[in-house]
Structure 1
Amino acid sequence: MSLATNMSLEDTSHPGGPGPGELVPSRYAVQIGEIEVLVISDGVLPLPTTMLAHNAEPAVREAWLNHMFLPQDSLDWPLNVVVARSGGQTILLDAGLGLDPDLHLPRAGQLIKRLEDAGVDLASVTDVVLTHLHMDHIGGLLVDGVKERLRPDLRIHLAAAEVKFWEAPDFSRTRMPPGFPDALRATAKRFVNEYRSHLRLFDDECEVAPGVVARRTGGHTPGHSVIRLASGGDRLTFAGDAVFAVGFDQPDWHNGFEHDPEEAARVRVSLLRELAATGELLVATHLPFPSVCHVAVEGETFRWVPVFWDY
Structure 2
Amino acid sequence: MRVNAIERPAGTGTEELVPSRYALRIGDIEVLVISDGVLPISTSTMSTNVEPEIRKAWFKSMFQGPDAFDWALNMLAVRSGDQTILVDAGLGGQFPGFPRAGLGPKRLEAAGIDLGSVTDVVLTHLHMDHCGGLLVEDVKNRLRPDIRIHVAAAEVDFWKSPDFSHTVMPSPVPEVLRATALQFLEAYGSRIRTFEEECEIAPGVRAVRTGGHTPGHCVVRITAGEERLTFAGDAIFPVGFDHPDWQNGFEHDPEEAFQVRLRLLREAAATNEVFIATHLPFPSVGRVAEDGDKFRWIAGFWDY
TM-score normalised by structure 1 residue count: 0.94
State the distance in 2 between where 1:274 and 1:115 align: 31
State the distance in 1 between where 2:39 and 2:23 align: 23
Q: CA deviation at 1:142?
A: 0.3
For structure 2, the 5+ residue unaligned runs are none
Asked whether the 8 Å contact 2:204–2:224 carries over to 1, the reply is: yes
Asked whether the 8 Å contact 2:43–2:69 carries over to 1, the reply is: yes
Asked whether the 8 Å contact 1:101–1:183 carries over to 2, the reply is: no
Asked whether the 8 Å contact 1:100–1:106 carries over to 2, the reply is: no
Q: Give the counterpart of 1:273 among 262, 266, 274.
A: 266
Q: Give the counterpart of 2:239 among 246, 256, 262.
A: 246
Using the aligned pairs only, state the percent identity.
63
Greater Cα offset, 113-122 or 145-154? 145-154
Residue identity matched to 2:137: D
Paired residues for 1:145-156 under 5 Å? 145-156=138-149
Q: CA deviation at 1:234?
A: 1.2
Q: CA 1:99 to 1:87, structure 2 compared with 1: closer, same or farther past 3 Å? A: same
Q: Give the counterpart of 1:9 among 4, 29, 38.
A: 4
State the distance in 2 between where 1:293 and 1:128 align: 23
Q: Give the counterpart of 1:28 among 19, 22, 26.
A: 22
Q: CA deviation at 1:21?
A: 3.5
Residue identity matched to 1:68: M
1:174 has 2:195 as partner:
no
1:262 paired residue number: 255
Paired residues for 1:1-311 under 5 Å? 3=1, 7-11=2-6, 20-101=14-95, 104-311=97-304
Q: CA deviation at 1:19?
A: 7.3
Greater Cα offset, 51-60 or 173-182? 173-182
For structure 1, the 5+ residue unaligned runs are none
Residue identity matched to 1:51: T
Q: CA deviation at 1:198?
A: 0.5
Q: CA 1:296 to 1:8, structure 2 compared with 1: closer, same or farther past 3 Å? A: closer
**Cα displacement string for residues 4-25 of structure 1 (whole angstroms, at most 9, x for unaligned residues):** xxx242438x9xxx97332210
Q: CA deviation at 1:178?
A: 3.0
**Cα displacement string for residues 111-132 of structure 1 (whole angstroms, at most 9, x for unaligned residues):** 0011001100000000000100
CA RMSD of aligned residues (A): 1.4
Q: CA 1:309 to 1:78, structure 2 compared with 1: closer, same or farther past 3 Å? A: same
Q: CA deviation at 1:172?
A: 1.1
Q: CA deviation at 1:265?
A: 0.5
**Cα displacement string for residues 193-221 of structure 1 (whole angstroms, at most 9, x for unaligned residues):** 01011011000000000000100000000
Asked whether the 8 Å contact 2:94–2:136 carries over to 1, the reply is: no
State the distance in 2 between where 1:241 and 1:262 align: 14
Asked whether the 8 Å contact 2:3–2:111 carries over to 1, the reply is: no
Residue identity matched to 1:97: L
How many pairs were matched up?
301
Kindly report structure 1 stretches of 4+ aligned residues shifted beyond 6 Å. Answer: none
